Structure 1
Amino acid sequence: MAQLFYKYSTMNAGKSIELIKVAYNYEERGKRVLCLTPKTDTRYGEGVITSRVGLQRQALPIAEDTNILSLFMRENEKHEIACVLVDEGQFLKKHHVLQLVEIVDSCDVPVMVYGLKNDFKNELFEGSYYLLVYADKIEEIKTICWCGKKATMVARIVDGKFVKEGEQIMVGGNDMYVSLCRKHYNDGRFKPDDEY
């Protein structure tokens, strides 16, 4: 029986490379996957999933008004889809998550969503919230803080300064976000003292 998987982490934990690996494994066995990514993240172009190590994969872009279930049904009519893979799941809306649930429950096709859990203010994103509510399986992909402890928070850095105010969604990479353990997030140290 198919399930909805939510695989979350902080920045730079390897979510996108994991998605690319899963897609490759399905396709190597002759199975077709449907890769999706929200239009919100255009750092590498619309509809492109990119890992920090440079691997890329085309995906269908999801707009706020996209009906993922209808999109799935259209694509599945062309060629049977064995799995749906979604990157940047934190940018999904509630209706997107419910449509993914419908793909799992009514079409018996597994869905794996990768994304952040919390933002730079340590608040849940809308997509993350509903994925945590509806997912059958939730898995943390771990990464580390500069100190070596497990990173659970994401810090936003603007002009070399740690900030905790601003718009929730501001797309950026290593130039703007740093994964930190709770201690260093709370005390505002985003790098070792000798690097300030």
Structure 2
Amino acid sequence: MKNDSALATTHSPLPGLGGNGHGARLTFYWGPMDCGKSTLALQMHHNHGRQGRRGLVLTRNDRSLGPKVTTRIGLAQDAIEVTDDLNLWDLAYGKVDYLICDEACFYTVDHIEQLADLVDRAGVDVFAFGLASDFRSRLFPASQRLFELADEVHRLQVEVLCWCGRRGHLNARIVDGEIVRAGEQVVIGDTASHAEVRYQVLCRHHHRSGTLD
């Protein structure tokens, strides 16, 4: 990817592609860990930038612990970190044609409302990517609001398997080799086996039973 800045320095928006108050959409792409959400987010940013559109890449709580979108296949992109007090309307209104919102599950519900306003009132296309549910299999508040408001919702089709071979779609939090069911909703971890707090994608049966192998 040639452009690795959070803000793509491109030209005027193309006719009919956002920025004109018509046809903009709020789209939510969701799935478990390892299904390619961040990879698709960066590919989409690349494709829209090539067509002369001006966009921003946003993230929150990336695995790198920095203002970046990183992927497990080695792609990375500078991004703007979304904090509780960041107003996305003020950030983007009149400045961009689209937003790439990675890890949108960790945004606040107010952020999702601001994204919907940018689509409806400013003609900004918003592409949000994130998990649907937390380690307890409960919807993240921001994800729930995206399901409620999005013009389009897509479950990513890159298949992630549970250790048993069934399709995995729930993320288990594992501490000291055991699945935990209580604690803060957001605790940063990864899928690496050596991590102090790690996550593993399981099928519904083994997530509910707590069986890891």
| Structure 1 and Structure 2 fold alike (TM over 0.5) | yes
After TM superposition, give the deviation of residue 42 of structure 1 in Å.
Answer: 5.1
After TM superposition, give the deviation of residue 19 of structure 1 in Å.
Answer: 0.2
Of 53, 78, 82 in structure 2, the residue corresponding to residue 58 of structure 1 is 78
Q: Unaligned regions of 5+ residues in structure 1, if any?
A: 192-196
Match of 1:189, SS state, is: coil
Is the aligned partner of 1:112 residue 2:134? no
Matches within 5 A, 1:1-196: 1-38=23-60, 41=61, 43-73=63-93, 76=95, 81-142=96-157, 143-175=160-192, 176-191=198-213
Asked if the contact 1:155/1:190 (under 8 Å) is kept, the reply is no
Asked if the contact 1:157/1:163 (under 8 Å) is kept, the reply is yes
Give the residue type in structure 2 aligned to 1:189.
Answer: T
Give the residue type in structure 1 aligned to 2:63.
Answer: R
CA distance in 2, matches of 1:68, 1:125: 19
Asked if the contact 1:117/1:128 (under 8 Å) is kept, the reply is yes
CA distance in 1, matches of 2:106, 2:38: 14
- The worse-fitting range, judged by mean Cα deviation, of 14-23 and 45-54 is 45-54
Q: Deviations over 1:50-77 (max 9, x none)?
A: 0011100011111101100100026x0x
Give the residue type in structure 2 aligned to 1:125.
Answer: F
CA distance in 1, matches of 2:167, 2:57: 29
Give the residue type in structure 2 aligned to 1:172.
Answer: G
CA distance in 2, matches of 1:137, 1:144: 25
Which structure exhibits the higher relative contact order, with contacts defined as CA atoms closer than 8 Å and separated by 6 or more residues?
Answer: 1
TM-score (norm 2): 0.82
TM-score (norm 1): 0.89
CA distance in 2, matches of 1:42, 1:9: 16
Q: Deviations over 1:74-111 (max 9, x none)?
A: 6x0xxxx2321101111111110000001100111210
Match of 1:19, SS state, is: helix
Asked if the contact 1:120/1:155 (under 8 Å) is kept, the reply is yes
CA distance in 1, matches of 2:74, 2:148: 32
Percent identical pairs in the alignment equals: 34
CA distance in 2, matches of 1:42, 1:52: 12
Tell me: CA distance 1:170–1:45, structure 2 relative to 1, closer, same or farther (3 Å): closer
Q: Unaligned regions of 5+ residues in structure 2, if any?
A: 1-22, 193-197
CA distance in 1, matches of 2:170, 2:101: 22
Asked if the contact 2:93/2:122 (under 8 Å) is kept, the reply is no
RMSD between superposed Cα atoms in Å: 1.4
Give the residue type in structure 1 aligned to 2:32.
Answer: T
Which structure is higher in helix share? 1
Which structure is higher in strand share? 1
CA distance in 1, matches of 2:167, 2:85: 36
